[in-house]
Structure 1
């Protein structure tokens, strides 16, 4: 063991010493190849972390969701029965006065049991304030609903009951209804009319979710949340990301999350972030191993004289293999450290570009483990790349080289 450690130290010392010689250029090029591969891997992995955290957006414009702090609102539908916001109509009206805001609406989500004919099924109901120009909320169009929130009536909740509902195709299918049909919430004397059946659906990854879009005050009346004027979240659509800092102060103990489009968040955990991270890892390892093995192989061929001299001094083939391993790992380690630093620069560049192009911040997320991830992968690249230059070193004919 002591001999192996001594040989590793010798290999590291030789490699660092050669950095000051004419061979430094080739060694630096090898380290640069590892650094670029690791930097790409780290940057892409950070984007994957952003995807996993639910903060990455994929469309023009920016949509923000004000959600209770600590609530499970990283995706829209899972916030059902979580902490709620109060006085949402007045708050949304106040936010709407900001010229930077395109439109805003509270969103209440509730799973209710509906009956239609002989069919009774559970449906995810979303209550919203319908914008005059019509938009999409939770993936469903609002154009068929009456603008505003008529039943709210300035907080009296005695306005006209529209009973209007937009159903997703999945909701229409499970309830076995078509546009124009009447559906009734179980245990109430109220009913809703399906003014539109939209083709858009929210997918869980195993199938579409049956969703119904109604006016907020009517859902509040059904769920006994009208007294506090409650909703789960407030959606704010804008093309100006500077609004985010303003929204952060609207409620105490709330978070401002970014979403793509209106209600495009998934209700389940996607495997996309893991797939992206694995693809980045495989690409970095493949490119790095080929690059390092090739250049370090050329380096071994160029230094056959040194290898022959070591053999003449009594270094065994095993000892020379350990020295080559140390040299390759040293170069790969240097490249890994440099690549991790480049990855830090890359994350800043990615976020700056996303902010400038689509107005979205923090597309790529940082995690402390990524600081060790780059060097560890680089050392793995070194280990995988070692067999080829080690084989070339073992194939060196000592007598032939020394006779030259």
Structure 2
């Protein structure tokens, strides 16, 4: 939501005295405006509850205290599923809700633009709020995972389990294929393919199929995430509930390659033990 239609600064705060002039300005989302049948420029009674708003209206003899300065279309600004939100100056909200003496909200989230310097923003925040603790986050990326030992341990266990299961699946599938194609392998030996060449053919084929499976999985995963987000935002969620980063694709390929390499010894062992004479005599 844009604050362009609100008066700059927070005059009611008045250096913590909360006796400055109130701006009497609020910004509504389209959903909030529709809920109370309000339009831009309408006069509103704002309170911490419906009862408080009624008392405020009676105390002011019907004279409204707030004006809807803008109706924001949040859906057009990138929020999936419009939310009923009312925005006003912080000090006025604190006075209305009784939090001007002791506000339980003790955290402020600052989202920087793509060209902003994180260091500069941290420095500016520290200068503006010397008594606050400034922390920089990475929106759930690897750096934030490293700071949580439990999350890191869980990720490593998931990686190990994925590699083991994938390796067993690849080894079993390759072994079944080799058992079915023993005669073909024997023919290769009969026409002059050395043992090393036959092993190389099986190794390349196994790794290629494993990599192809990873690529298919990436495509299906991308489709699954898109469908999940579409269904969620169309039904119960205000925004996407699943995310997909390019690093996930690299992760899938890496797991597939490692699993394929670990699975190779068993099918290669079966190829090396293939008896050419016996297989050709079938």
TM normalised by structure 2 equals 0.50
Kindly indicate whether structure 1 or structure 2 has the higher relative contact order, using CA contacts under 8 Å at least 6 residues apart: 1
TM normalised by structure 1 equals 0.36
- Higher fraction of strand: 1
- Higher fraction of helix: 2
